[in-house]
Chains A and B, each alone.
Chain A
Amino acid sequence: QSALTQPASVSGSPGQSITISCTGTSSDVGGYNYVSWYQQHPGKAPKLMIYDVSNRPSGVSNRFSGSKSGNTASLTISGLQAEDEADYYCSSYTSSSTQVVFGGGTKLTVL
Chain B
Amino acid sequence: EVQLVESGGGLVQPGRSLRLSCAASGFTFDDYAMHWVRQAPGKGLEWVSGISWNSGSIGYADSVKGRFTISRDNAKNSLYLQMNSLRAEDTALYYCAKVLAGDLSSAFDIWGQGTMVTVSS
A40's nearest neighbour on chain B, judged by CB, is B45
Q: Name the A residues within 8 Å of B31 (CB-CB).
A: none
Whether A89 and B45, one on each chain, are in contact in the complex, defined by CB atoms closer than 8 angstroms, is yes
Interface band, chain A: 20 to 34
In angstroms, Cα B104 to Cα A32, docked, is 13
Whether B111 and A46, one on each chain, are in contact in the complex, defined by CB atoms closer than 8 angstroms, is yes
Whether A51 and B95, one on each chain, are in contact in the complex, defined by CB atoms closer than 8 angstroms, is no
Q: Mark B63-95, 1 if CB is under 8 A from A, else 0.
A: 000000000000000000000000000000001
Q: Mark A77-111, 1 if CB is under 8 A from B, else 0.
A: 00000000001010101000111111111000000
Q: How far is the CB of B38 from chain A (nearest CB, A)?
A: 10
Whether A48 and B108, one on each chain, are in contact in the complex, defined by CB atoms closer than 8 angstroms, is yes
CB contact between B107 and one of A36, A40, A105 (< 8 Å): that residue: A36
In angstroms, Cα B97 to Cα A36, docked, is 14
A70 within 8 A of B: no
In angstroms, Cα B112 to Cα A91, docked, is 18
A69 within 8 A of B: no
With A38-B108, A48-B109, A52-B107 known as contacts, the answer to whether A98 contacts B100 (CB < 8 A) is: no
Whether B44 and A1, one on each chain, are in contact in the complex, defined by CB atoms closer than 8 angstroms, is no
In angstroms, Cα B108 to Cα A102, docked, is 12
By CB atoms of chain A within 10 A, which of B111, B113, B114 has the most?
B111
Q: Name the B residues within 8 Å of A100 (CB-CB).
A: 35, 47, 50, 59, 104
Q: Name the A residues within 8 Å of B109 (CB-CB).
A: 48, 51, 57
Whether B114 and A45, one on each chain, are in contact in the complex, defined by CB atoms closer than 8 angstroms, is yes
Residues of B in contact with A (beta carbons under 8 Å apart): 35, 37, 44-47, 50, 59-62, 95, 100, 104-109, 111-114
